[in-house]
Amino acid sequence: MDTAEIRRRFVAHFERDGHTPVPSASLLLDDPNLLFVNAGMVPFKPYFLGQETPPYTRAASVQKCVRTPDIEDVGKTSRHGTFFEMCGNFSFGDYFKEHAIELAWDLVTKSQADGGWGFDEAKLYPSVYVDDAEAVALWRKITGLPDDRIARLGKKENYWSMGVPGPGGPCSEILIDRGPAYGADGDFSAEDRYLEFWNLVFMQDELSAVRSKEDFDIAGSLPKKNIDTGMGLERVAFLTQGVDNMYEIDVMFPVIQMAEQLSGRRYGANHDDDVRFRVVADHVRSSMMLIADGVTPGNEARGYVLRRLLRRAVRSMRLLGYEDPALPELMPISRDKMGETYTQLHQDWERISTVAYAEEHAFRQTLRAGTSIFDLATTEVKQAGGSQLSGDKAFALHDTYGFPIDITLEMAAEQGLSVDEEGFRRLMNEQRQRAKDDARAKKGQHRDASAYREVADSMGRPVEFTGYETTTDEGSVRGIVAGGGVVASAGPGDEVEIVLDRTPFYAEGGGQLADQGVIELANGARLEVYDVQSPVTGLIVHKARVLDGEVAAGLAAHAAVDLERRRSISRAHTATHMVHKAFREALGETATQAGSENAPGRFRFDFSATGAVPASVMADVEARVNDVVLDDLAVQAEIMTQKEAVASGAMALFGEKYGDQVRVVSVGDWARELCGGTHAGSSGKLGVIKLLGESSIGSGVRRVEALVGSDAYRFLAREHVLVNQLSETLKVRPEQLPERVHDIVEKLRAAEKEIEKVRVGQLLAAGGELAAGAAKVGPVNVVAHRADGAGGGDVRTLALDVRGRLPQDEPGVVVIIGAADGKVAVVAALNDEAQARGLSANDLVRAVGPLVGGKGGGKADVAQGGGTDASRIDEALAVVTTEVGKVGA
């Protein structure tokens, strides 16, 4: 049974039982504790935490997930993978343990001919939490299994929590016995022998303190008991397909087969190579799915994870002996298999492949650069008579230059060197610990939404947003939140969060800043609204200061949005859509929006791009959007299903959460996107759009800053005044300014070159006088000179020139110390005769360096250094004579 069929049967099984099929959420969700969705229940967390009311009582999903803490173990076991799909069924206060067990057991054991998965009951073992007698009785009743087939396990294995105070509960797992080849009989800790593939969480407890996975307090029972199950799709796939691990299932093994062809090596012949083949299969798929959901390679957070996955895949192919670009050969294989379910992989392939292949190209360049740095490091080790590359050198290669440790090990062995792996691992562990400490510091940042939930529940329906049609409206105060709790009233000077039953105020979201304005109550109280947010679904909260009077629930309210601010922001939002469309026309479908901010009169637009945008493209995009402004196209919004929106050609943005019904905003028939923001009535109302420039904000992401409307007009007016001033000063017409400025710059450069020639000539002219005035210290000609105003380059030039003028058949020493811009430069230059007498430029610089607040060094013939204390230059020059006298006499 192929993976797609396993997935289909899972969803159909629960849909027949009244579960609402919920599509997979994006891998990227707004959660302070998570880089990626790492479990099937994550999109449902607001329901389990009581932050939001679920729109259904039972649901089923097949959720995309990524877990990366065990990335180093990928390929070494049958269990560790980065990207995986988690099948789950959920009950929100509906059915509980008995029905959850019935549903799972039925699907698992029903024959394939009858729509089940057809597992052999004789090989299945339920596990329960050791203190959950109720679950034991239910497993016996439903399955008919004897008592010795039900494993009792402790908190570590069979009690679930999120690691923070909140819901928790015992769980039951369905294990399959894979036989004596994988471990001892009855040893349930041998995970390869008794492999868990489905976990049923019975969410029944309220945890008041969670100190660790096995150390927590149970405050009481939850008011509503919930079910959260998780079934690993890949595990069921390899168990039903008769293969040994997840890497060999139908959607992954074709990548290994292609890697075999490319490398000439055979899967199954060598353990180390097998691990590399599996890493390739896993990381190619994981990287592709992350890019599909909007992640781009970078040096931080999500971008760093993606970069690491891509580079590990490329590196593994290199270790398999394949050194040509690998991703263009491998990733299309993964696309074709995963694209059977995730059709957007085909639709968005140009962007996905461009990002992936560009990162491989960059990594190949990194390998070349890292090889040069590695060569220098090994040369230093050998010159020092060593045989081991230090751990800090290996760590610097890895951390600073992106050079993988296994390649360092491989290349060091080729050079006859070992690597201090223990030191490297220690530094890596220290880095990981810092990351864990940082993550732990962020742990528990779940927003306390109890006050908002209380207000929302008391209303019984969502706040009605009327801001698309009007900027003023009448409503009533339905709740007041202050200090984290619901309050009855507030007075002048108080900072409060006001909830109205209906409001024209737009809550920040989708890149659009919140509205501001005023709320006036029936009793004369006035509030200044400075921010608007939606902390839980269906609730719009006005953050405000009470200016006058007393605010109380139940009072009628008149809400008035700052009209000019709203119009200005709306123009910016419409301009963002237009610029997005124009960039996709100019650069191709890969130029997909990666973020935005729509503020009054200005906007910021981030998009995917492999390099800087040429000035000609920027000019073309600006001209294109301003042509659309002149066309005065109507801006319209329509409500439709997601399927209808996609069919209409509407763009959806990565990481955004959309419901079944979506709002599609169109600028004529030209630009069309899913969007919940406010917009201008037509493109003509934008007036003018001015792109200020573009820049990089990370690998593969560019940022455009722009102005729109009156802000753009004022900017252009200032530029016009500036151009006129320059034209008047330079006595040319505006269109002649570029040529005139170019001529002036060229003349300045030529003049600077002439000045430099004169300055160097003057400097060298002094060399003759210095050489002629050399002092005799025994047989040695010594020039020790102070050159005020001379920097490092000048000092070196002068020192070498003077040395060349001294008699070459006599020992000669030249030390010049210059001072310029608060810095001291020291250069010592010796001829061959001076070196033959045992004098060294390196020793002289080291002797005088501390006196001028610095240090330096070099070779016996020429050395240089620097410092910061010019007050002791004369003292330092006197030391030169003393040092020469000690050796040269």
| Residue ranges at the known binding site for Zn(2+) | 573, 577, 675, 679
3-class SS of residue 837:
coil
> Residue 516: which of 501, 503, 506 has the closest Cα?
506
Q: How far is CA 798 from CA 138, 767, 815, in A?
A: 94, 6, 10
What whole-number distance in Å separates Cα of residue 497 and Cα of residue 506?
Answer: 15
Which amino acid is present at 469? E
What is the CB neighbour count within 10 angstroms for residue 804?
14
Per DSSP (E only), the strands in 74-119 are 83-92
Q: How far is CA 463 from CA 313, 508, 539, 637, in A?
A: 49, 15, 6, 20
What whole-number distance in Å separates Cα of residue 473 and Cα of residue 566?
Answer: 15
Q: Give the angle subtended at the CA of 161 by the CAs of 156 and 167, to the nearest 5°.
A: 145
Residue with tokens 């890969």: 590
Strands 124-129 and 151-153: parallel
Quick one: how far is CA 627 from the chain centroid? Answer: 36
Region for 498 from its dihedrals, namely left if φ exceeds 0, alpha if ψ lies in -120 to 50, beta otherwise: beta
Q: Give the angle subtended at the CA of 770 by the CAs of 764 and 776, to the nearest 5°.
A: 150
3-class SS of residue 464:
strand
- In sequence order, which ranges of 602-709 are alpha helices (DSSP H)? 615-631, 642-647
On whether the CB atoms of residues 797 and 760 are closer than 8 A, the answer is yes
- Residues of each annotated binding site: 573, 577, 675, 679
Residue 151, token pair as written in the block: 């494993």
On whether the CB atoms of residues 60 and 89 are closer than 8 A, the answer is yes
Residue 631, token pair as written in the block: 């066309």
Residue 439, token pair as written in the block: 């993550």
What whole-number distance in Å separates Cα of residue 39 and Cα of residue 64?
Answer: 8
What whole-number distance in Å separates Cα of residue 880 and Cα of residue 860?
Answer: 15
On whether the CB atoms of residues 397 and 403 are closer than 8 A, the answer is yes
Please give, one letter per residue, the 3-state secondary structure of 222-269: EEEEEEEEEEEHHHHHHHHCCCCCHHHCCCCHHHHHHHHHHHCCCCCC
β partners of residue 558: 474, 520
On whether the CB atoms of residues 259 and 281 are closer than 8 A, the answer is yes
791 φ/ψ angles, rounded to the nearest 5 degrees: -90, -175
On whether the CB atoms of residues 587 and 609 are closer than 8 A, the answer is yes
What whole-number distance in Å separates Cα of residue 164 and Cα of residue 871?
Answer: 62
What whole-number distance in Å separates Cα of residue 128 and Cα of residue 130?
Answer: 6
Q: How far is CA 493 from CA 451, 490, 528, in A?
A: 21, 9, 10
Torsion of CA 872, 878, 879, 885, to 10 degrees: 180
Which amino acid is present at 307? R
What is the CB neighbour count within 10 angstroms for residue 444?
14
Per DSSP (E only), the strands in 141-214 are 151-153, 159-161, 166-177, 194-212
What whole-number distance in Å separates Cα of residue 372 and Cα of residue 393?
Answer: 13
Torsion of CA 614, 620, 625, 629, to 10 degrees: 150
> Residue 543: which of 525, 555, 527 has the closest Cα?
527
Torsion of CA 87, 90, 96, 99, to 10 degrees: -50
Residue with tokens 């960059």: 362
